[in-house]
Amino acid sequence: MSEAKRTPGDVLRETRKKDSRTKRAKVLATVDAMKARGETVTFLAVARTAGVSRWLVYAEGVREHVEAAVKSQAKASRRTKLAGRDASAASLATDLALVREENKALREERDRLKKAVQRSLGAQLDQAGTNELNQRVNELLAAVERTALERDEIRAERDELKRRLTEAEDDLAAARAAGKEMFKRINRT
């Protein structure tokens, strides 16, 4: 018995069904993983985490699984509150006050350490001594003097080049004038 020949439409339908099954399985696995990690399960969070479109998490067969996870988490949250395992407002306020006190103490310690480092650096600079500083200042002054001499030499060279350029321009102008005069005489004769 020969197998019926599959049409491109059949292949496309089979591929879509397979893709749909794969995506649905991915969504269900994502819901289970989110529950295991203690993440809040919502339709949008599941769609984003699974990397699928939002409509798929509302599709029949998937929606029920997501809804069950949401209800399960809501029940667990209510049980926790009823059992008194959540922190009370007074407990949270106490924790906040303790954290603020600790932050204040840490800021004061930071300021003390900062001042100590500043004093230490100041003492090190004083120990470096004025001899080293004077030597460095003298080196810098000598470098400034050398630079000034080089600058003066370059200016003198520039001025000489300007003078030569002016002479060359004058000579060129005179040569042009003489050439014009010569052409005039040649044309007259």
The domains of the chain are located at 8-92
Residue 56 in contact with residue 47, Cβ under 8 Å?
yes
Dihedrals phi, psi of 188, to nearest 5 degrees: -70, -35
pLDDT in tens, 158-183: 999 999 999 999 999 999 999 999 99
pLDDT higher than threshold 90 for residue 112: yes
What is the arithmetic mean of pLDDT over 60-89? Answer: 80
What's the DSSP call for residue 74?
H
Q: What pLDDT, on a 0 to 100 scale, did the predictor assign at position 85?
A: 59
Q: What percent of the chain has pLDDT over 70?
A: 91
| 110 pLDDT more than 90 | yes
Looking at residue 1, its pLDDT comes to 45
| Residue 48 reports pLDDT greater than 90 | yes
- Average the pLDDT over 58-63 and give the result: 91
pLDDT tens digit sequence for 1-25? 445 788 888 888 999 999 989 999 9
- The mean of the pLDDT values for the chain is 88
- Please tell me the predicted confidence (pLDDT) of residue 3: 56
Q: Per-residue pLDDT for 121 more than 80?
A: yes
